[in-house]
Amino acid sequence: MITTIRSEIVSLFTEVAKEHNNKLAPLTDDLELLESGLDSLSFAVIVTRLESQLGIDPFSSSEDTVFPVTFGDFVRLYENAAE
Amino acid sequence: MKTQQNNQPSLWHALSSARDLTGRHLFGAEGSIALNDLIEGTTLYGRGEELCGRSVLVMTANQFTTASALIELDGIARRIVVCPPDLPTEHLPFVIETAEVDVIVSDRATFALGSSRPMVFCPCSKEIGPRNYDRTVEHETEWIMLTSGTTGVPKLVVHTLASLAGAIDPGSNAGGDVVWSTFYDIRRYGGLQILLRAALTGHSLVLTSGQESTADFLARAGSHKVTNISGTPSQWRRALMSGAANKIDPKYVRLSGEIADQGILNRLRSAYPGARIMHAFASTEAGVAFEVTDGSAGIPPRVIENTPDVEMKVEDGSLRIRSSRTARCYLGANAPVLKDANGFVDTGDMLELRDGRYHFAGRRDGMINVGGLKVHPEEVEAVINRHPEVQVSLVRKKKNAVTGSLVVADVVLKVAAQTAQKHDMRELQEDIVLLCRESLSSYKVPAAINFVPALAVAESGKMIRNNA
């Protein structure tokens, strides 16, 4: 299940970057999201699509969600929310 | 009380002077009334003198009894308040106080009013009784139609029969056997137009019933040989999906109340190859404004610039209308202003000129704010609906931690595409997004495409938009 979430996120980052003509940096766990090449609209799109595909939106389910800094944080946020 | 000042006779007078009403009826699911009997008799138990000069709330459970009551009351009552079937009861006291209602005409046995005004209760019947009162004196009755305001409290829109009937040519009786019908409820503006067309030209009318499926209604309409029929694009989509669209063979098909896209126009064209198919613009406040008869979506500029008796202009993006068919005002002490200083009604419907035609881009108050940029849902829906696998779509706001709001789309596929495999669905989502990306700015492209089996349609016949 955990690998599914990670692979879903990776494929969505790739897909949305392509759609928005953003040049995506290699998706390593310590990549800072602000350095990933995606703009804020792209992030919004990714969060919305993840919700429709995984059924989770960690940003809306908890009021004190800390916005993730790195790509690894982002993936863990979804993995934790799915547990 | 004013007596009749213009050339508009009351509904009863118009019917009485129609040339030949033999064989013409008001048809409901539960029975029929011959128009000749309606002229001679009463469905209000002969209480016309008691109702004379009163403010009458028509609050009925059934369209069939509504139609005969309205025809009888016009010219007698000082004011008719037409209560739509889905008015929440909590708003009744407001309506009764604002319209100074002193008579309630109803086919229901009992109901709680929540108002302390002294009130006469007058039942109405499906059966015709002998009329025992005189109708020689005619008064100009004020008609009040209700529209739902943005806060849910209804707005009371003031018309006269003359303004309601401004688009109707009473001489069109000559055109042979016309049988009218509508998917609309006649207690709303769009449906009332059809009741008035039938009554003022002396033709039969087939009414829908809340107890009846679309397929059963179409079969009944077909058995009465309906020739002219109107509805919203959503109601027409439902008719085409009912499997019973072939039960009727109309000569005249009219769409109004929502944006008619090319898909629905094309499907109606192939379902009814012999019919005149038109889409029209009308609203309770602005009246009947124009119709487009060339079979294409959108509006040719000449229709806006050159429709007889109706002046139209686009100002600050929205359609403004001035004509004798617009409502007079909203009723009530703190009611909003209906017309500007020059008599134009702002419809709040946004028009855009694209490729030589005007297109509705949505409602001014229905916009979605994506990171400070404005999106009209209807503009995005128009693009999605162009996809060959798509039947209809609804674009709505989705709250988002990053940009505040985003645009997402609920999409109903055509029947053939609904049975596709799951991985094909992913491809189809991408395909639809690609289509949007080709014609829309990136913030307008839906962040997610959800395939749904159907979209909710309100009692008004329009898709339910909930952007709250």
Q: For B193-234, how does the pLDDT look when each residue is reduced to its tens digit (9 = 90+)?
A: 999 999 999 999 999 998 899 999 999 999 999 999 999 998
CATH number, domain containing residue A41: 1.10.1200
- B443–A41 C-beta distance less than 8 A: yes
Sketch the domain layout of chain B as residue ranges: 11-354, 367-451
| pLDDT for the residue B377 | 92
Which architecture characterizes domain B11-354 according to CATH? Answer: 3-Layer(aba) Sandwich (3.40)
Radius of gyration of chain A (CA): 12
Mean pLDDT value of segment B389-395 = 94
What is the share, in percent, of chain B residues with pLDDT greater than 70? 93
Cα(B332)–Cα(B163) distance, rounded to whole angstroms? 20
The answer to ipTM > 0.90 is no
Q: Chain-wide mean pLDDT for chain B?
A: 90
Domain that holds residue A49: 2-82
Whole-prediction pTM: 0.82
Q: Say which range, B193-197, B336-340, B420-424, has the weakest mean pLDDT.
A: B420-424
Q: Say which range, B107-116, B175-184, B250-259, B434-443, has the weakest mean pLDDT.
A: B107-116
- pLDDT higher than 90, residue B158: yes
- B448–A51 C-beta distance less than 8 A: yes
Count of beta carbons in the 10 Å neighbourhood of residue B450:
14
- Chain A residues within 8 Å of chain B (Cβ atoms): 15, 19-20, 40-41, 43-45, 47-49, 51-52, 59-60, 65, 67
Residues with Cβ within 8 Å of residue B136, at least 6 apart in sequence:
none
Contact B163, B328 (CB under 8 A): yes
- pLDDT higher than 60, residue B468: no
- B398–A19 C-beta distance less than 8 A: no
Q: How many domains does chain A have?
A: 1
Residue A69, sorted as left (phi over 0), alpha (psi -120 to 50) or beta, turns out to be alpha
Q: What is the CATH number assigned to the segment(s) B367-451?
A: 3.30.300.30
- A60–B399 C-beta distance less than 8 A: yes
The nearest alpha carbon in chain B to A18 belongs to B434
3-class SS of residue A38 = coil
| pLDDT for the residue B25 | 96
